[in-house]
Amino acid sequence: MTAAAPVPGCDAPAPRVRSERGQRAVFCGLTGIVWLHRKIQDAFFLVVGSRTCAHLIQSAAGVMIFAEPRFATAIMEERDLAGMADMHDELDRVVAQVLERRPDIKTLFLVGSCPSEVIKLDLAKAAARLSAKLMPDVRVLSYSGSGIETTFTEGEDACLSALARTAPRATADDPSQLVVVGALPDVVEDQFARLFDELGIAPVRFLPGRRSTELPKLGPNTRYLLAQPFLGATAATLDSLGCVGVAAPFPFGAEGTTAWLSAAANAFGVPASKVREVTALKENRAKVAIARHAGGLRGKRIMFFPDSQLEPPLARFLSRELGAELIEVGTPYLHGRWLAPELALLPGVDVVEGADVDRQLDRCRAARPDLTICGLGLANPLEAEGLATKWSIELLFTPTHGYEQAGDLAELFARPLARRELLEV
């Protein structure tokens, strides 16, 4: 079994955090539609964009080819971009077509892209106008997934922020509740719901839930717990509604999951002894599952390129629960308030916020890590140079949170190294 390293005390070295500015090689925020449309079962995502946008979503969601997807692209043609057509009329026509085909849809998201931003198409105004026409049957919201404004996971942040703004308001007289924020696969949501129930924390709601119309009432007696580190804008929206955030390490690995649950328990006055009683067995089972993959990762030198914002918690999991050595942890943004508990667990580690892909590639080539975690665009060239890589997108598409997924999460990192060893024999 792998024992987690002790939590560092006040005299432990801080991580070495610095910022870089430059070119980045990261997917845009449209990618989030792939997991968001699976999660919110009565929502439809209509990208207002180009053929490139349509190709991106279709290839990212290729595995869904046999399911009836709840996303589409309203493709802007040249005459639209040249201002020769009334875009609002076109949009109304496409929205009417979608809703006629999909009467089960209760929330329609208009998702902005680079082309819609370049021509300054006001999707917020379009959403308000369409909502006024279609409510109470269908609510229309908008957010941007454009590559000019967003990286990979920021699309989810923008979407959840838009959703939270429409939630009913709670008052100080409403009972206290916990809201878990972040799109979790249903199986993970159910596991966490059971754990909170055992801890005696109730009611617990999830944002987003499976149905867009069943939003929790949000207000001063709402404590919220982020399940993902990239939800800074959503957190700011919740703060503006009077909700109170609980900062914690994120629920990746045995240690992270216990720390995350403990922070919620602490906020609700649940004694530490109760937390141990509920979590001890499950945490141990997770440690056993993780230990199966530790052999392949112990002492391995790992580098993260900035991509999903999941990098700091995943790096913490790799170093503390799998014994890997971190060469550099790149991340597109660091939301200091939410990442502080993670950074405290990464003493002395080089953390680089932002991106300068050329300089990062130089450092990677010089260090020749055993495993590089990066976006799809960088993985193939690095593999061709003899470096083992892991696509960071897989870490979003696969259930990875919580005790029961901790072994699978370890395996995701161990697999490329095992494959390389087999090839080298």
Q: Which residues bind ligand SF4 (CB under 6 A)?
A: 28, 30, 49-50, 52-53, 56, 113-114, 146-147
Place of tokens 């792939």: 34
Yes or no: say if 340 and 4 are a contact pair by the CB < 8 Å rule: no
| Residues whose CB is less than 8 angstroms from the CB of residue 311 and which lie 6 or more positions away in sequence, other chains included | 304, 329, 330, 331, 373, 392
Q: Which residues of 231-268 are buried (b: 16+ CB within 10 A; e: fewer)?
A: bbbbbebbeebebebbebbbbbbbbbbbbbbbbbbebb
Query: CB of residue 90 vs ligand SF4: minimum separation in angstroms?
Result: 18
Query: CB of residue 71 vs ligand SF4: minimum separation in angstroms?
Result: 13
Nearer to ligand SF4, 28 or 343 (CB): 28
Nearer to ligand SF4, 146 or 212 (CB): 146
Taking CB atoms, the residue at the shortest distance from ligand SF4 is 147
Nearer to ligand SF4, 50 or 392 (CB): 50
| Residues whose CB is less than 8 angstroms from the CB of residue 326 and which lie 6 or more positions away in sequence, other chains included | 302, 303, 304, 315, 318, 319, 346, 349, 350
Query: CB of residue 126 vs ligand SF4: minimum separation in angstroms?
Result: 17
Give the DSSP letter of residue 62. Answer: G
Nearer to ligand SF4, 49 or 229 (CB): 49
Query: CB of residue 32 vs ligand SF4: minimum separation in angstroms?
Result: 11
* Cα(61)–Cα(35) distance, integer angstroms: 9
Query: CB of residue 315 vs ligand SF4: minimum separation in angstroms?
Result: 27
Nearer to ligand SF4, 113 or 360 (CB): 113
* Cα(243)–Cα(305) distance, integer angstroms: 33
Sign of the CA dihedral with 25 first, then 28, 31, and 32 last: positive
> What is the token pair recorded at 21?
């500015």
Nearer to ligand SF4, 144 or 258 (CB): 144
Query: CB of residue 113 vs ligand SF4: minimum separation in angstroms?
Result: 4
CB atoms within 10 A of CB 276: 12
Nearer to ligand SF4, 3 or 148 (CB): 148
Helix axes 336-343, 232-240, angle to 10 degrees: 120
Yes or no: say if 169 and 208 are a contact pair by the CB < 8 Å rule: no
Place of tokens 């503006």: 240
The one-letter code for the residue type at 383 is E
Nearer to ligand SF4, 112 or 402 (CB): 112
> What is the token pair recorded at 191?
């596991």
Nearer to ligand SF4, 152 or 206 (CB): 152
Of 195, 179, 193, 178, nearest to 277 by C-alpha is: 195
